[in-house]
Amino acid sequence: MSARLNDELRHAGVGILLGLLGVLFGVFWAVYITVNNDEIHMKLMRAEVSSIEEKFVLSPGAGEAGHDGHGAPADHSVHAPNAAADEPADHAMHDGHGEEAAADGGVELKSVELDKIKKELAQRSPAQEHHGSPEMAAAHERLAKAHVHAMGLGVLSIAISVLLAFMPASARAKTFAAACVGTGGLFYPLAWIVMGMRTTAMGTEAAASSVATMAGLSAFLIALGLVFTLAYAVKWLFSKNRRPRLI
């Protein structure tokens, strides 16, 4: 390798390094989700159960209202001057017990529904074809896509960085374009991992919205690096002297 070729590749070396890291990360992630598939599934299921439990949380003041309604009329009945005044108090006490019983019935009904949902989730096997709920299936799909994006963008970063070495551009421009593609290609798969881990707890759309900034910035960096590379390629293609600068 000539000294000039070595210098040109060194200018775009940051993109090659980041691309190699992306490829290695993609390989590691594929092995990890394959070996720990059951563990990941159970973690996602626990997050899903916790999300369901939060939706069934009741206000603690419901039961206290029934007791207050029962206590206040009882105090008035003690100071009633005759038996006729005791009758409204008895009705108030009866109504207070009715409200308390209704609140207890609502709690029991929600507890039964929650237990039923939790049992159904617990009976789902990690090896089910469709992973149970739509959120669970979407979570596994997003985690798998992180591997695909890491491998593809890693290879793209390496290819763009090598191509930049042939382009008639300054050293800073090559470094900038290669760094944009490499950085975006490294963080974009991480956004898919975070989104997949949050899917069962937050829901499909909410999980996607939570990483929109990270994914959008990564895609912007990749697009910016590709635009710079395309501009250099067009400039080199239509220049009068199209001889490669490497040799």
DSSP string, 92-114: HHHHHHHHHHHHHHHHHHHHHHH
Distances (CA, A) of 94 to 70, 80, 133, 243: 8, 18, 45, 98
The SS3 assignment for 37 reads helix
pLDDT of residue 39: 92
More confident site: 11 or 100? 11
The pLDDT tens digits of the residues spanning 129-172 come to 445 678 899 999 999 999 999 999 999 999 999 988 888 888 88
Query: Whole-number mean pLDDT of the chain?
Result: 76
pLDDT score of 17 more than 70:
yes
pLDDT of residue 4: 65
The SS3 assignment for 80 reads coil
More confident site: 79 or 155? 155
Residue 75 is encoded by which pair of tokens?
């105090």
- Report the range of poorest mean pLDDT among 51-55, 61-65, 165-169: 61-65
**What share of the chain in percent tops pLDDT 70?**
62
pLDDT score of 63 more than 60:
no
pLDDT score of 216 more than 50:
yes
Amino acid found at 173? A
For the entire predicted model, the pTM comes to 0.68
DSSP 31: H
* Residue among 222, 67, 211, 44 nearest 140 (CA): 44
Of the pLDDT bands very low, low, confident and very high (cuts 50, 70, 90), residue 77 is: very low
- Report the range of poorest mean pLDDT among 16-25, 41-50, 202-211, 218-227: 41-50
Determine the Cα–Cα distance for residues 160 and 156; give it in Å rounded to an integer: 6
Domain boundaries, the chain: 3-237
The pLDDT tens digits of the residues spanning 182-215 come to 999 999 999 999 999 999 999 899 999 999 999 9
Determine the Cα–Cα distance for residues 151 and 21; give it in Å rounded to an integer: 10
Distances (CA, A) of 111 to 4, 52, 66, 107: 73, 12, 20, 6
DSSP string, 163-181: HHTTSS--HHHHHHHHHHH
* Residue among 136, 140, 185 nearest 160 (CA): 185
- Report the range of poorest mean pLDDT among 27-41, 96-110, 167-181: 96-110
- Asked if 196 and 211 count as a contact pair (C-beta separation under 8 A), the reply is no
Beta strands of 103-234 (E only): which ranges? none
pLDDT of residue 155: 96
Distances (CA, A) of 194 to 33, 45, 135, 170, 208: 14, 16, 14, 37, 9
More confident site: 66 or 189? 189
Residue 72 is encoded by which pair of tokens?
């206040």
pLDDT of residue 205: 93
